[in-house]
């Protein structure tokens, strides 16, 4: 995929999250891009690994660093209440990257909006769990719920069985695992 389209898609996710007044951290963006790729064939082609707080892509972090350095995106480190982390918003040059690829981005806006509708209000931890479930189910669709819970707990022991089952049921209710 052309880097300019990848950059445009990342900036568009940031723009829409910001427009909806939803916080977008580096970790949250990782999960959103993963879900767009895994569920809706988003054409970014990042390679994700299931790591402690993953799915996670080093290539995506490198692209974000480029977008921060070129003022297409801005990252602020914040502490608000119990939240300590990053907040990504469109940078001063974001409209340049969007306008030069407006035709290409138009066909992906609906998918971006859909993923934000489905997942944008989750906490980072809640989104991490749901993305991990999608990751594991994409790797092996014939996992029983018992085995799925075990695999999640192997990588992420801080999630309880009940939390994992509830997140799995949320994904079923969203009709995205069928």
Domains in the chain, number = 1
Question: Count H helices, E strands: the chain?
Answer: 9, 2
84 in any annotated domain: yes
7 in any annotated domain: yes
d(CA 14, CA 122): 16
Q: Could you tell me the residue range of the domain that residue 90 belongs to?
A: 3-173
38 in any annotated domain: yes
95 in any annotated domain: yes
pLDDT in tens, 128-171: 999 999 999 999 888 899 999 999 999 999 999 999 999 999 99
Range 24-31 average pLDDT: 96
Task: Please name every residue paired with 78 in a beta bridge, in sequence order, or none if there are none.
Answer: 85
178 in any annotated domain: no
Q: Which residue has the higher pLDDT, 176 or 95?
A: 176
- Say what the pLDDT of residue 178 is: 63
Rounded to two decimals, what is the model's pTM?
0.91
Residue 32 has pLDDT above 90, yes or no: yes
pLDDT in tens, 65-78: 999 999 999 999 98
């Amino acid at each position: 995929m052309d880097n300019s389209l990848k950059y445009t898609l990342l900036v568009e996710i940031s723009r829409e999250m910001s427009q909806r007044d939803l916080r977008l951290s580096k970790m949250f963006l990782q999960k959103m891009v993963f879900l767009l790729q895994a569920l809706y064939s988003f054409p970014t082609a990042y390679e994700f690994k299931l790591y402690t707080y993953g799915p996670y892509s080093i290539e995506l972090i490198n692209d974000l660093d480029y977008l921060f350095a070129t003022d297409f995106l801005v990252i602020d480190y914040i502490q608000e209440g119990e939240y300590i982390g990053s907040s990504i918003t469109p940078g001063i040059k974001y409209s340049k990257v969007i306008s030069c690829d407006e035709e290409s981005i138009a066909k992906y806006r609906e998918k971006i909006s859909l993923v934000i509708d489905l997942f944008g209000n989750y906490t980072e931890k809640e989104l991490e769990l749901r993305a991990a479930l999608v990751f594991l189910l994409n790797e092996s669709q014939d996992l029983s719920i018992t085995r799925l819970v075990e695999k999640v707990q192997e990588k992420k022991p801080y999630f309880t069985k009940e939390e994992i089952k509830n997140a799995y049921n949320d994904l079923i209710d969203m009709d995205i695992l069928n």
